[in-house]
Structure 1
Amino acid sequence: MDRIPPTRLSRLLTGWAGGGSDALPRLLADALRELAERGDVGPGTVLPSQRALATALGVSRSTVTAAYGLLEAEGRLESRHGSGSRLRASGAVGEPASEGRLASFGSRDGTLDLSSGALDGLPAVADALDALSGRDLTAALADDGYLPYGLPQLREQLAEYHRAAGLPTSPEQILVTAGSQQALWLITQGLVEPGDTVVVEDPTYRGALEALRARGARLVPLPPHGAPGPQGDGPAALARLAGHIRPRLVYLQPSVHNPTGLGMSARTRRAWATVLAEHGLYTVEDNAYAELSLRDDSAPVPLAAQLPTAATATIGTLSKLFWGGLRLGWIRASTTVIHRLAEIRKSVDLSCPVVEQLLAVRLLQGLPEARARRRAQLRERLAATERLLTAEAPHWRWEHPAGGSALWVELPGADAEATAQLARRAGVLIVPGPAFSAVDGFRHHLRLPFADQHGNLAAALPVLLRSAERSGSAR
Structure 2
Amino acid sequence: MDGMDRIPATRLSRLLTGWAADGPGALPRLLADALRELAERGDVAPGTALPSQRALASALGVSRSTVTSAYGLLEAEGRLESRHGSGSRLRASGAVGEPVGEGRLASFGTRDGVVDLSSGALEGLPAVADALDSLSGRDLAAALAGDGYLPYGLPRLRELLAEQYRAAGLPTSPDQILVTAGSQQALWLITQGLIEPGDTVVVEDPTYRGALEALRARGARLVPLPAYGSRSGSRTGSRTGTADAHDDGPAALARLTGRIRPRLVYLQPAVHNPTGRAMTGPTRRAWAAVLAERGLYTVEDNAYAELSLSEDGAPPPLAAQLPDGTTATIGTLSKLYWGGLRLGWIRASRPVIHRLAELRKSVDLSCPVVEQLLAVRLLQGLPEARARRRAQLRERLAAAERLLTVQAPHWRWERPAGGSALWVELPGTDAEATAQLARRAGVLVVPGPAFSAVDGFRSRLRLPFAARQDQHDPHDPLDQYDRLAAALPVLLHSADRAGPVR
Task: Give your verdict on TM over 0.5.
Answer: yes
Shift of 1:100: 1.2
Query: Where does residue 498 of structure 2 map in the other structure?
Result: 471
Query: Where does residue 200 of structure 1 map in the other structure?
Result: 203
For 2:246 and 2:10, locate their aligned partners in 1 and report how far apart those are by CA, in whole Å: 24
Query: Where does residue 249 of structure 1 map in the other structure?
Result: 264
CA contact (8 A) 2:177 2:353 kept: yes
CA contact (8 A) 1:101 1:435 kept: no
Say if 2:340 is the partner of 1:325.
yes
For 1:267 and 1:444, locate their aligned partners in 2 and report how far apart those are by CA, in whole Å: 29
Shift of 1:297: 3.5
For 2:227 and 2:495, locate their aligned partners in 1 and report how far apart those are by CA, in whole Å: 25
TM-score computed with the length of structure 1 as normaliser: 0.97
Shift of 1:25: 0.7
Out of 297-306 and 425-434, give the one that drifted further: 297-306
Secondary structure at the residue paired with 1:408? strand
CA contact (8 A) 1:251 1:284 kept: yes
Query: Where does residue 102 of structure 2 map in the other structure?
Result: 100
Instruction: Give aligned pairs, total.
Output: 474
For 1:412 and 1:185, locate their aligned partners in 2 and report how far apart those are by CA, in whole Å: 35
Question: Aligned pair in 2 of structure 1 residues 307, 433: CA closer, same or farther (>3 Å)?
Answer: same
Query: Where does residue 132 of structure 2 map in the other structure?
Result: 129
Alignment match of 2:375 (pick from 356, 360, 369) = 360
Shift of 1:19: 7.5
Out of 101-110 and 175-184, give the one that drifted further: 101-110
CA contact (8 A) 2:107 2:116 kept: no
Amino acid in structure 2 at the alignment position of 1:400: R
CA contact (8 A) 2:245 2:280 kept: no
Higher helix share: 1
Query: Where does residue 294 of structure 1 map in the other structure?
Result: 309
CA contact (8 A) 1:8 1:99 kept: no
Question: Aligned pair in 2 of structure 1 residues 306, 51: CA closer, same or farther (>3 Å)?
Answer: same
Out of 80-89 and 405-414, give the one that drifted further: 80-89
Query: Where does residue 78 of structure 1 map in the other structure?
Result: 81
Amino acid in structure 2 at the alignment position of 1:104: A
CA contact (8 A) 1:165 1:299 kept: no
Shift of 1:105: 3.9
Question: Aligned pair in 2 of structure 1 residues 241, 19: CA closer, same or farther (>3 Å)?
Answer: closer
Where in structure 2 are there 5+ consecutive unaligned residues?
232-243, 470-481
Mapping for residues 142-221 of structure 1, pairs under 5 Å: 142-221=145-224
For 2:256 and 2:278, locate their aligned partners in 1 and report how far apart those are by CA, in whole Å: 23
For 1:111 and 1:258, locate their aligned partners in 2 and report how far apart those are by CA, in whole Å: 24
For 1:99 and 1:21, locate their aligned partners in 2 and report how far apart those are by CA, in whole Å: 25
Say if 2:430 is the partner of 1:415.
yes
Question: Aligned pair in 2 of structure 1 residues 473, 258: CA closer, same or farther (>3 Å)?
Answer: closer
Shift of 1:107: 7.1
Where in structure 1 are there 5+ consecutive unaligned residues?
none
Amino acid in structure 1 at the alignment position of 2:102: G
CA contact (8 A) 1:297 1:372 kept: no
Shift of 1:101: 5.2
Query: Where does residue 391 of structure 2 map in the other structure?
Result: 376
Shift of 1:14: 1.8
Mapping for residues 27-42 of structure 1, pairs under 5 Å: 27-42=30-45
Amino acid in structure 2 at the alignment position of 1:381: R
CA contact (8 A) 1:313 1:332 kept: yes
For 1:258 and 1:473, locate their aligned partners in 2 and report how far apart those are by CA, in whole Å: 25
Shift of 1:161: 1.0
Shift of 1:362: 0.4
For 1:202 and 1:185, locate their aligned partners in 2 and report how far apart those are by CA, in whole Å: 20
For 1:230 and 1:145, locate their aligned partners in 2 and report how far apart those are by CA, in whole Å: 48
Out of 160-169 and 439-448, give the one that drifted further: 160-169
- List, as ranges, runs of 4+ consecutive aligned residues in structure 1 with deviation greater than 4 Å: 19-22, 227-231
Q: Percent identity?
A: 83
Shift of 1:134: 1.1
Query: Where does residue 236 of structure 1 map in the other structure?
Result: 251
Shift of 1:98: 5.5
Amino acid in structure 1 at the alignment position of 2:488: L
Secondary structure at the residue paired with 2:423? strand
TM-score computed with the length of structure 2 as normaliser: 0.92
For 2:23 and 2:95, locate their aligned partners in 1 and report how far apart those are by CA, in whole Å: 32
Alignment match of 2:351 (pick from 294, 314, 336) = 336
For 1:230 and 1:56, locate their aligned partners in 2 and report how far apart those are by CA, in whole Å: 35
